Amino acid sequence: MPRPLVATIEIAAMQHNLSVARQQGEGARIWGVVKANAYGHGLLRGMRGFAAADGLSLIEFDNAVCLREAGWRKPILMLEGCFDMADMVTASTYHLEPVIHCVEQIVLLEHAMREHLVKAPFDVHLKLNSGMNRLGLAPAAFQAAYARLRALPGMRHISLMTHFANADGPDNPALPLARQVGCFLKNTRHLDGTRSTANSAMHLLQSSQAADWARPGIMLYGASPGTRTAASIGLQPAMTLASELIAIQEVEAGDAVGYGSRFVATVPMRIGIVACGYADGYPRQAPDGTPVLVEGIRTRLTGRVSMDMLMVDLTPVPSAHVGSAVELWGTQLPVDEVATMSGTIGYELLCAVAARVRFEERSAVDALQLL
Ligand SMILES: *Cc1c(COP(=O)(O)O)cnc(C)c1O
C-alpha cells in the first residue's frame, strides 16, 4: 500500500484564481507564472489550470519545451532569459520569448543572429533594474540596450518589463514602490513596446498601473503574496497536502515526544503520528503549536518534525484513530499559516513538496461527474 500522504491539486481552483487575477487586471493580459514546476503543483497541471491565460512564463527551458510539446500554442516568456547559446536556439525553435536583463545576453543574441543560429522574427522582453538590484539593465544603460536590440534585423517585438521589491506589505523607506514605478515610467516613456510589471503583490495592489501584461504567480495557486490573506482576496487553495494518522501514543505528564524531546506533556494526552515529514517538504522549522487538522479539527504540532513523520496533540479530537484524516495545509488550513509559523512564506512550502509525495488531481470534469 502506498503511504497515505497525498497532494491533491484542484484544477478548478487554479481556473478560479486566474479569473480573480483577470478581474483585478482591468484588461491587462495575464502571463500565468508556472516556474518551479508550477510552484510545486506540476507543470502540466499549471498548463491545464491556466489554459485561459494569455501566455505562460517560467525559468526552465526544458519545461518550456514540455509545454510546447504538450500543445501550448500561446506565448511563453522566459523570465531569466537565455543562459547560453543552446537556449537561444531552443527559444528560436520553440518560439519562446526570452527576457534580456544584461548586456551579455544582448551580445549572445547578436552573435546568434550573425551566425544564423536563430531565425526571425524574434520577440524579447527588455528588463529594467528599477531599484531592486537583482535582474535588469541599469537605467543609464537602458536606452542604449533598447536601440541595440532594435537594430537587429530579426527583431520583432521588444516588450518592456521590471520587477518590484516591495509591493507585498507596508511601504518600505529603503525603496518606496513609487520610486520604482517612477523609474520604470521615466525610462520607458519614449520607447515603443508593451509593458509588463506586476507580480501577484503588485497586481493586487495597483491594477491600474501602466501595464499591458501582468505576471501573477502565487495568487494563481491560491496563496497570498503578502499581508492580506488569500481568502480575503477571494482565492482558493489549489493544493491540499493530506495524510493519515499511522499510530497513536498515550503519554503521561512529564513524557517527552520526538527527537530532542522538544515537547514535554504536562497532562496525560494522546499523540497522533502523521505520515509526513521534512523529506516530504513539511518544514522542519515548524514549532510546537503549528496548526494541523485531524478529522477537520484544528490541533497542533507537538515535537520536532522528523524526516518521515510528525506528531500532533489529539486532545481536541477524542474520536481520532489510526487512519484518521489529517490536513497539513490546503482547503481548510491555509498554507500561509503553516509557513508563517515556520518563519517562511507559502511559496517555499508549495515549491518544496518532495518528489516522493503522490500527486492526485481533481479536474473540473471530475467535479461535474460527482454531481
Ligand atoms: C516569479 C515571478 C513572478 C511571479 O511572482 P509572484 O510573487 O509569485 O506573483 C513575476 N515576475 C517575475 C519576473 C518572476 O520571477
pLDDT confidence of residue 203: 85
Cell for 3? 503511504
Q: Report the separation in Å between the CA atom of 200 and the middle of ligand 1, taken as the mean of its atom positions.
A: 7
Q: Pick the residue whose CA is nearest to atom 10 on ligand 1.
A: 199
Q: Is 215 in the pocket of ligand 1 (CB under 6 A)?
A: yes
| Per-residue model confidence as pLDDT tens digits over 204-237 | 887 545 679 999 999 999 999 988 999 999 999 9
Atom of ligand 1 nearest to the CA of 161: 13
Residues with a catalytic annotation lie at 35, 259
Stretch 268-297: mean pLDDT, rounded? 98
Q: Which of 59-73, 209-223, 272-286, 293-307 comes out lowest in average pLDDT?
A: 209-223
Measured in Å, residue 217 CA sits from the centre of ligand 1 at 5
User: What pLDDT score was predicted for residue 370?
Assistant: 52
Asked whether 170 and 137 are in contact (CB, 8 A), the reply is no
Burial of 134 by CB count in 10 Å (0-12 exposed, 13-18 middle, 19+ buried)? exposed
How far is the C-alpha of 353 from the C-alpha of 78, rounded, in Å?
23
What local confidence, expressed as pLDDT, does residue 31 receive? Answer: 97
* pLDDT at residue 210 in the model: 60
Res. 104: pLDDT tops 90 = yes
Tell whether the model's pLDDT for residue 366 goes beyond 60. no
Q: pLDDT, tens digit, for every residue of 127-177?
A: 999 999 999 999 999 999 999 999 999 899 999 999 999 988 888 999 999
* pLDDT, tens digit, 9 for 90 and up, residues 237-251: 999 999 999 999 999
Average pLDDT of every residue of the chain: 95
